[in-house]
Amino acid sequence: MTSTRAIPSRRAPAQRGRAQWRSRELGDVEAPPRLRRVSEAAIEPTAWDRRFRTRLVITDAIVVVASVVVSLGAAIVFEPAATASPLAFGVIAAFTVATWLTFLAAAHTRDERVLGMGASEYRQVANSTALAFGLLALVFVITRVEFARSFVLVALPIGLLGILIDRWLWRKWLLRRRDRGDYLSRAIIAGSRREVEYVARQILERSGAGYHVVGAAIDAPGQSFIDAGGERVPIVAGLDEVAQSARDLGADAVILAGLTRDEDDYVRRLSWQLEGTRADLVLSSRLTDVAGPRIHFRPIDGLPLIQVEIPQFDGGKHALKRGFDIFASALGLLAIAPVLIGIALAIRLDGPGSILYTQERVGRDGKTFKLMKFRSMIPDADRVRAELLERNEASGLLFKLKDDPRVTRTGRFLRKHSLDELPQLWNVLRGDMSMVGPRPPLAEEVNGYAEHVHRRLLIKPGLTGLWQVSGRSDLDWDESVRLDLYYVENWSLTGDLMLIWRTVRVVVRPVGAY
């Protein structure tokens, strides 16, 4: 979604809006459970975003000061030849802290538009920190600070890691509060009925979106609510009364979705009408499953063009991904060697059969390879599979059984925690797979693909991926395909690192694994 900020002003009074909302809530339309749970808190004009940003400022400052103090100590220890007075140390520390915090603020790393958004917030923190230290390094070289090298080399990694952990912890706290209906921005969704219902349903199903839908604005005479996935959202206005309803309800955002009238003129007039309110104007993009980094704005003499970057499947970005795969898989194999030996012994003691199981899978561009796993089933599992097809519990082309009789006692534990897939690190090192990517399919699955599903094969399959952290075997076929195609077209190295971290959490607390 694209956000256009209205001119800021004093917070609008919500007394009249609260009365109108309560009359709608208790009158013609019965508020759904989620709306009832958060309605009173949502109508009260709170300053949660201001309080939350204040907490971020405080914790960021603590981390920055601590990392600067540690780095000064390290510089004194590792470069004892460098001499400076206590006053000089103090000036350098204060300048570093001030510069770092200024860059974090200037880059809008605490802006409400990125709060709780994960990758966007972390990326802005990393970029602003890198720019701050680029400037600091230049200043230190020009002023000939003798211990600048040790100071920067220690403060940068420690401080950046500390801030990222700090932001991650606050994000988890914020998402937990949003799950309970707190710390949400009030939103009115306007547009065609179909599009409004779709956007409302997506928001209500995802507390991480950060919005609480207080009403819908559509031209629907005689109707008092819309259906958003089984929950009723009251219709609070027609399309010509959106701005007034935003004032009355103290809305933080007006989301436009699929207008059926002269869209350009309407958007412009609505942005004017929202001037002097507290509401953002948010445009719901029709660019389905296109990630933010691929969308670029190119205004040309008042013509707001949106450029969508076409996915690339070769080049430097993919070379960097391959380099990361080699490093991560080699390091992983060395680090978990004792675990691999222990699992191999457990499989051997559990019964007859080989320790490793290989199966032909389809990789990038349709090329097949031998995927390696720890054996988790009885030796003749492939033969028995044909007898179990009628009991298949998965949708589409997948085959899954929650209580598969072919799984061994040790195998059940391995599959639950994804430990049976650890040998695939060797497939990653060989170049058959990547650390992160789509699920590696069987040849029979590929033969049944619809034309668009073949796009899964444009990059290497992954040891983990969106499918691994989003429910795994609990996903239906269409959702599995959607996640894989989204990853294929929108992956980034930063996103890969986040998915690997989320995979570690899923392995510890498995969901949908059997």
357 and 304, same domain (yes or no): no
* 145-156 tens-digit pLDDT: 766 777 788 888
187 and 93, same domain (yes or no): no
* 498-507 tens-digit pLDDT: 889 888 877 7
Residue 209 token pair:
């979106």
In a domain, 362, yes or no: yes
367 and 410, same domain (yes or no): yes
> Mean of the pLDDT values across residues 123-133?
91
Last residue of a domain, one of 178, 213, 235: 178
In a domain, 43, yes or no: no
Which CA distances in Å does 218 have to 187, 193, 225, 238, 291? Answer: 14, 6, 10, 5, 28
- Contact partners, residue 80, CB within 8 Å, separation at least 6: none
Which segment, 89-98, 127-136, 477-486, is predicted with the most confidence on average?
A: 127-136
- Contact partners, residue 364, CB within 8 Å, separation at least 6: 457, 458, 459, 460, 461
405 and 298, same domain (yes or no): no
173 and 232, same domain (yes or no): no
Last residue of a domain, one of 308, 335, 366: 308
332 and 453, same domain (yes or no): yes
Selected residue with higher pLDDT from 151 and 51: 51
248 and 339, same domain (yes or no): no
In a domain, 42, yes or no: no
In a domain, 514, yes or no: no
478 and 397, same domain (yes or no): yes
SS3 of residue 312 by DSSP? coil
pTM of the model: 0.63
The answer to whether 163 and 62 are in contact (CB under 8 A) is: no
In a domain, 405, yes or no: yes
Q: Which of 40-49, 83-92, 208-217, 373-382 is the least confident region?
A: 40-49
61 and 153, same domain (yes or no): yes
Which segment, 21-35, 305-319, 481-495, is predicted with the most confidence on average?
A: 481-495
Residue 355, classified by CB atoms within 10 Å of its CB into exposed (0-12), middle (13-18) or buried (19+), is middle
Whether the pLDDT of residue 26 is over 50: the answer is no
Q: How far apart are the first and last CA of the chain?
A: 36
Last residue of a domain, one of 250, 279, 308: 308
* 395-411 tens-digit pLDDT: 555 666 667 778 888 88
* 269-289 tens-digit pLDDT: 888 888 878 788 888 765 555
Whose structure tokens read 């799950």?
Answer: 179
219 and 168, same domain (yes or no): no
Owning domain of residue 74: 49-178
Number of domains in the chain: 3
Selected residue with higher pLDDT from 508 and 240: 240
Whose structure tokens read 């990038």?
Answer: 364
192 and 174, same domain (yes or no): no
158 and 295, same domain (yes or no): no
In a domain, 44, yes or no: no
